[in-house]
Structures are given as C-alpha cells and as structure tokens.
Amino acid sequence: MNRSSNINLLNNNKKFDFIVIGGGASGLGCALDVSSRGYSVVLLEKFDFCKGTSSRSTKLIHGGVRYLEKGQISLVYEALKERDILIKNAPHLVKQVGFLIPVYNYFLKFYYFFGLKIYDFISGNLSFEKSRTVNRESAIKLVPNVEKQKLKGGVVYFDGQFDDSRLGIDIALTSEINNAVLINYMSVESLIKENGKIKGVIAHDSVNNSNFSINSDNVINATGVFSRSIMELDSNKLKTVIRPSQGVHLVVDKCFLNGNFGILVPKTSDGRVLFAVPWQDHVIIGTTDTVVDNPSFNPESTKEEIDFILENVKNYLELYPKRDNIKSVFVGLRPLVANNSNSKSKDLSRKHKIIVSKSGMVSVIGGKWTTYRRMAENVIDLALKKTKLPFVKSKTSDLKIKNGLIDIDFSKESLSDDFFLSKEMIIHYVKNEMALNLDDIMSRRSRCLFLNTKESIRIAPVVAEIMSNELSKDKVWIDKQLKSFYNLTNINKI
C-alpha cells in the first residue's frame, strides 16, 4: 500500500461506487467485500488502521461459550461458522488454541462438559478438536501452573486465536489487490448532500493538511464506538444506539501458564468469564466489561479493573501474577448495541445492527472480529438494494487473505529478545503498509507495546531513527515522535 499513490487517485474527481468511513474490522471488512464484488471503493480512516477497538481484543476467534448460557444459539452458530471460514481463508493468522476449565468439584466437571458438548454439537463439522474431560494429572500436564489444591481435573475445549491488527492490515492489503483505495490519517469532516440525499464527503488529510471532496452516492459509516459522531453529521435527531463497554487486558510472562493451553475462568465475581491465553510468547489475561459514557481514542484502565482481573485469576493459578508482574495493559471499547441506557454491559447485544438514514447513509454498529466478514456482507447487500448498481453476490467466504509478511526473513537479528522486530520489518511497514508514526509500528504493525511496555520504550529511539530514514524526516520529527509515544506508553504501564 502506498499512501501517496492512493491520495493521487482522489485528485481526478473520480466518483466512487462506495465510500467507507472507518478503518477497523467493520470498515476493512466492508472495503474487502465491496471491492471483491467489483465495485469501486475508497476507505477513509481518521487515524491508523485498527487504531481503536480492532487492535485491542482478547485475540480470540470464537463462538462465545458464555452465550450458550443465555440461549443465544443463533449467535454462537454464526460465530462458529465464521470461525471456520476465517481459519480457511487466513491460516497464517488464525490458529487453534486449547483451553482448560479447571474444576474443584465433580459436579462442575460434568456441568461444564455438558455445556461444551452443546458447543461441539452446534459447531458440527465446523468444530476444531472436540471437548473432553481430563483427570487431575492430565490437567496439570496441560497447564503446569494451574492451582493444584483440591483440583479434581477439568474440561478441555478448543477455539481460534489470531493477531487482530495484523489481520486488519492483511485485509487492507487484500482489498487493495481488488482495487480498493485505502487512506489512513484522513478524517471525514462533513457530508455532501443534494436534496437531502448523500452525494459524498469532505475529508481532511492530516498529514498534508489538505481537504478533499470525494463523490459517491453510497456512504458506509463503520466507525465503531464513534459511529454517533458521523451520524451527527447526517442528523441531529438521534436515539442512543451504542453503549460502549470497556475491556481491560493484562499481559504477563508466559511462566504464569507455563504451557500452550489457556485457562478459562468460568465465572468471575460479576458473572462473566475470564481468559488467560498464551499469545506471542506471553500471556494475556482479560477481560473486564464496564460501560463507559464518553469513549476515548486512547482508553485507560482503572485500578479497580486491574485488581478485578488479578483477584479473579489468582484462584486458578498456583503462581499468580501481581501488579509488579504486569508487562503491559491494553484497553478495548466494544461498540455494543444499546437496549436501554440502564443495561449492564454483559447483557447488551453482541449482534450487529445496520441503520439506514433518510439521506441514505448506512451505519453499522456492534459485532466483533469473529463475525466481521458476515457483518460486512450484510451491510453491502443492504446498501446495494437501495442503489441503481447491479447486484453482485459477496465473494469473501472463499477469498484468501494475503499474508503481508510472507517475504520477511524471521531469522534476522531482532531489536529485542522479548519480541521479534527487525530493521527489515520496520522498513517493510513504512514502504508497504502505510506506517507513518512510531505508534503505528510499535502498536499495530508489530505488537511490541502491547507485549512489553518497558522494552518498547527502550527500543523506540532505534525504531524512530530507522523510520526517519525511510520517510526522509529530520531529528525534530524523531523527537516529536518519541515524545508522543512516551506519553502514550503511560496508558500501557502500571
């Protein structure tokens, strides 16, 4: 992807079939779906691709075990079907991961086993390995650091795991192969209308400080928790449609699982589930579920949320993490569909909702990474029905996602022993993946900041210097980038 080349495509006053606002899972999914059908599309992202929620998930592609308890069978089935499609189309990113549910009385062992057999049944041929019960000795072999006192064994099941922002970038690359035009750091400032109908957008390029008038009869608002801000450009008469929920994740050393299996804490003190998952040679523990009234582009955890996670995981681990063991903290905001303003976040819908305004703008809210493809297909199907464009069916169920790092030599020297980041990768991110700022590489092209904040701070000057050479920037740029990055790291450390 080359940003300058894509910007030039906006200068010829071309009318696009579609404009997609938002470069997270929803927006990238829409861009891929519509471009692979053969329509022209431009995607505009205010910051960097997957800057928000789409880089801050629990890194799981899953049906949602806990939704079974609520009887949301259709939601679970759809997610399991999409999980199968994702592992088929992006096998370089989506892998099987096993979970142990440790049990400390025999009744719960069979209770959870029965529930997971329903999970297996719903998935049918879409299932990974089947769930099973294990005895005490087998449970300890799977998770050597599991709390052993009074342990009766456990139940094992399997789900999918992935790298969220990496999938986002690879979807962007695949979209570009299908002639989509994608531009980061370009915000939509206003909508163009004629006789009350959408005709395009006015966008601002924050890199070059210039404005563009982009024409299209079809505008898709896929900005997640910030969808309301775009909807307000269209109308000031809005109901509450989104209730953002904050999910905090802690990253600790791999010794706290000491194996390849994760742990599912089946019921926390607030009635949710909690995961401890091995990921990129570390362990992610999360997550919380707290309704927030004023969503931020850089959400921060609270002391109470961190304490909640530590307290709820400690009963399941022999050696359990404390605050001093936390290497990084990251927070995601879920764009949940509102029922009413008093709903608890764990009771709000995980389904997506599509809203078509009087002007013709299509907004999509809710959903999750697992079902991003199906959500995008639904959005584009609906959008096409209101246009004069010929209807072409979605092709993404069989569309392979490009591996953007296939040519990277992972045997080269890394800047860190705690995660892999080479000079070759940094240059690649700048030249081919529109990485413009230090945070783009440290947080989303690589996952350095999310894995180890202190180590990321240590290598940041080296990364900034390599970037500056590729971008033809001076020392002033380096200093500005480092200052901005160091301010950002305060969110990711304790």
With beta carbons less than 8 A apart as the criterion, state whether 45 and 436 touch: no
247 and 319 co-located in one domain:
yes
- Of 288, 311, 338, the last residue of a domain is 338
Q: For position 340, what pLDDT does the model report?
A: 55
Domain containing residue 223: CATH number: 3.50.50.60
Kindly state whether residues 371 and 250 are assigned to the same domain. no
Per the CB < 8 A criterion, the answer to whether 346 and 305 are in contact is: no
- Domain assignment of residue 324, yes or no: yes
Residues 262 and 149 placed together within one structural domain of the fold: yes
Question: Please, what sign has the CA dihedral across residues 303, 306, 308, 311?
Answer: negative
Calpha distance 146→345 (Å, rounded) = 30
287: preceding bond cis by omega (within 30 degrees): yes
- Residues 144, 252, single domain; the answer is yes
Q: Which of the residues in the chain have pLDDT under 50?
A: 341, 343, 345-349
Q: Any alpha helices (H) in 136-261, and if so which ranges? A: 136-142, 164-177, 227-234
Q: At what angle do helices 164-177 and 25-36 cross, to 10 degrees?
A: 20
Whether 151 and 267 map to the same domain: the answer is yes
Q: How long, in residues, is the chain?
A: 494
Beta pairing partners, 334: 245
- In a domain, residue 116? The reply is yes
Same structural domain, 436 and 382 = no
Q: Are residues 250 and 362 in the same domain?
A: no
Asked if residue 85 belongs to a domain, the reply is no
- Which ranges of 318-452 does DSSP label H, i.e. alpha helix? 372-385, 423-432, 438-439, 448-451
Residues 332 and 479 in one domain: no
- With respect to residue 472, please indicate whether it lies within any of the assigned structural domains: yes
Is 352 found in the same domain as 325? no
CB 213 within 8 A of CB 200: yes
Sort strands 262-265 and 95-103 into parallel, antiparallel or unpaired.
Answer: parallel
Does residue 326 share a domain with residue 246? yes
Identify whether residues 237 and 350 lie together within a single domain: yes
Total number of domains in the chain: 3
Residue-number span of the structural domain to which 380 is assigned: 3-53+165-241+346-398
3-state secondary structure of 398: helix
Listed in sequence order, the DSSP H helices in 278-410 are: 303-314, 372-385
Give the pLDDT score at 348: 46
- The DSSP 8-state label assigned to residue 401 in this structure reads P
Q: Identify whether 460 is part of a domain.
A: yes
Map residue 127 onto helix, strand or coil.
coil
Running DSSP on this structure, what letter comes out for residue 195? T
Residue that is last in its domain, among 289, 304, 338: 338
User: For the domain that residue 267 is a member of, what is the CATH number?
Assistant: 3.30.9.10
The answer to whether position 59 is within a domain reads no
State pLDDT tens for residues 438-458.
999 999 999 999 999 999 999
CA distances for 73 relative to 180, 308, 318, 377, angstroms: 35, 29, 35, 21
Same domain, yes or no: 202 and 156: no
Q: What pLDDT score does 347 carry?
A: 45
- pLDDT of 238 reads 75
Model pTM score: 0.94
- Evaluate whether residue 405 is within a structural domain: no
Type and span of the H or E element at 386: none
Of 307, 338, 369, the one marking the end of a domain is 338
Give Dmax over CA atoms of the chain in angstroms: 71
Say if 298 falls within a structural domain: yes
Q: DSSP assignment, residue 473?
A: -
